Structure 1
Amino acid sequence: MISRITGFLAAIAMAATLAVSPAHAQDQNPAASAPAIDAAAPAADTAAPAPAAAASAPVDNPYSLANIIAHGNVVDQVVLVILALMSMGSWYILVVRVWDTAKLQSEAKDVRASFFKKASLADGIKSLKEESAFRYIATTAVEASEHHEGALTENIDHSSWVTMNVDRAVADVNTKISAGLGFLATVGSTAPFVGLFGTVWGILNALTAIGVAGQASIDKVAGPVGAALIMTAIGLVVAVPAVMGYNWLLNRNKGVMSQVRAFAGDLHGVLMGNRSVAKR
């Protein structure tokens, strides 16, 4: 009987121990888990800016011109340099020739208003600017009229001799204002083909790389081919202003040179008239 009571009490004590142990463990777990949560919180806070940093990072665009300049081969970069030189030369010629023709138009307006109203050709020549094309033509005509001597030049009549010298002076002026038009024509006709050569070379390299890798996917083809096509676009951007500038300057020069030739014809008439008066 005593042994049974003792066993019963031992069972109760064991049950009480088992009941208290989980409660005690629960009391300890919040204390242990709290620092874990606190420790994890800073980690979450530090990890939160990661998506923003990833979103703000620059993305390498395989289709851009900068990518060709930075990662292109020697042929691509040489083609870009040639096109850049063509473009700069075209715009330089356009600006300079427009300035020259505008100056000639202004001088022609002044000549029509005052030159032939002077008392003499000498006074008219002095009224012109030193570097004026009209002064160059007038000086050449007067010198030819006053210096018609020599065993060979005497075989040419005076009027033809003056006409020949005036025509040469007019041709010199025309050559000066037409300088560079040949370059514009060359750029306009060749720049698209230079750009096309860069495109063909880039596509060839892209296809070669795909063949070596043995894989053909849109992401491997689109980037190199798209970058190569930029060369054709650049060639057209260089060629179109050159062609339009050439045609515009050609028509502009015709208008200016018609005024120059009119002045030369009037000057020739004045010189021949003076000679006829002097003979009388």
Structure 2
Amino acid sequence: MNFFSLMTQGGVVSQLVAMLLLGMSVASWVVILWKGWLLPRAVGEVARSTAVFWQSASIDEARQKVAAFDRQALVLPLIAATGIRAGQTLASAGDRSQQLTRVLRDALHAVLNKLQFGQVLLATVGSTAPFVGLLGTVWGIYHALVGMSAAGQFTIDKVSGPVGEALIMTAAGLAVAIPAVLAYNVFGRAIGRIEADLEGFARDLRELFSHQPQNG
């Protein structure tokens, strides 16, 4: 018996556990493939975008060059946040340095939320999939014991099927969890690197524009 036969031939609990593990695996691999494409690209894009910005003669030129380089560049929301305007609301209270701190922080959080998307799913799958597989294992052992009790004696044909289900569920739980855990750790390091670069760029922007007059 293999994993997929459990979904059609196993008991109700075994089928539910198998379907749950399959769903967790599909969801985690979708995230893994998407972030595996996004994050390496983002690491290089942040470095190139910041280099383009500092080589520009003005903020408008920098914005145009970065947008021409990549319309989805992660630094664009930070650059756009420097164009705050004077107003009469609490959001515009305080000096320009305080306002820049606020708007750059909000822009940075929005960018990081995009990068962090899927991390919770990977962490959840990595931490719960082994226990879901363990549930299938326990249920398989229970079936084996029930089969032995009904037969009144130990026979291989009564326990081989349930024990096979138990072993497959254990392996399936680990097979789902291990890629999720590895991806979570690898992506977490990449996100941390990007976050550090963006925070440094935001601090530089704040220092650069804090003493300039607000746009009226």
Length-normalised TM-score, structure 2: 0.89
Q: Is the 8 A contact 2:92 2:99 kept in 1?
A: no
1:135 maps to what in 2?
A: 76
Q: Is the 8 A contact 1:148 1:161 kept in 2?
A: no
Matches within 5 A, 1:94-243: 94-129=32-67, 130-142=71-83, 144=84, 147-153=85-91, 155-243=93-181
Q: Greater share of helix residues, 1 or 2?
A: 1
Matches within 5 A, 1:261-276: 261-275=199-213
> What per-residue deviation string (whole Å, max 9, x for no partner) do you get for residues 225-272 of structure 1?
123221011001111111111111111100011111122122222213
* Aligned AA (2:206): H
Report the more deviating stretch, 106-115 or 192-201. Answer: 106-115
- Other structure's SS at 1:102 match: helix
2-structure distance, mates of 1:87, 1:227: 18
- Other structure's SS at 1:132 match: coil
The offset of 1:274, in angstroms, is 4.0
2-structure distance, mates of 1:186, 1:151: 41
Length-normalised TM-score, structure 1: 0.70
1-structure distance, mates of 2:37, 2:86: 36
The offset of 1:98, in angstroms, is 2.6
Report the more deviating stretch, 248-257 or 64-73. Answer: 64-73
* Identity within the alignment, %: 35
Q: Is the 8 A contact 1:148 1:158 kept in 2?
A: no
* Aligned AA (2:74): A
Structure 1 stretches lacking a partner, 5+ long? 1-62
* Aligned AA (1:136): P
2-structure distance, mates of 1:103, 1:66: 36
* Aligned AA (2:27): G
1:73 matches 2:25: no
2-structure distance, mates of 1:153, 1:198: 54
- Other structure's SS at 1:138 match: helix
Structure 2 stretches lacking a partner, 5+ long? none
* Aligned AA (1:159): S
**Equivalent pairs, count:** 212
Which structure is larger by alpha-carbon Rg, 1 or 2? Answer: 1
1:34 maps to what in 2?
A: none
1:249 matches 2:187: yes
Alignment CA distance shift 1:111-1:64 (3 Å): closer
Q: Which runs of 4+ in 1 moved over 6 A?
A: none
Alignment CA distance shift 1:151-1:65 (3 Å): closer
2-structure distance, mates of 1:120, 1:100: 29
2-structure distance, mates of 1:174, 1:74: 42
The offset of 1:208, in angstroms, is 1.5
2-structure distance, mates of 1:247, 1:209: 43
2-structure distance, mates of 1:104, 1:222: 50
Q: Is the 8 A contact 1:83 1:191 kept in 2?
A: yes
Q: Is the 8 A contact 1:83 1:238 kept in 2?
A: yes
Q: Is the 8 A contact 1:83 1:194 kept in 2?
A: yes
1-structure distance, mates of 2:137, 2:11: 12
* Aligned AA (1:265): R
Equivalent residue for 2:30, pick from 89, 92, 111: 92
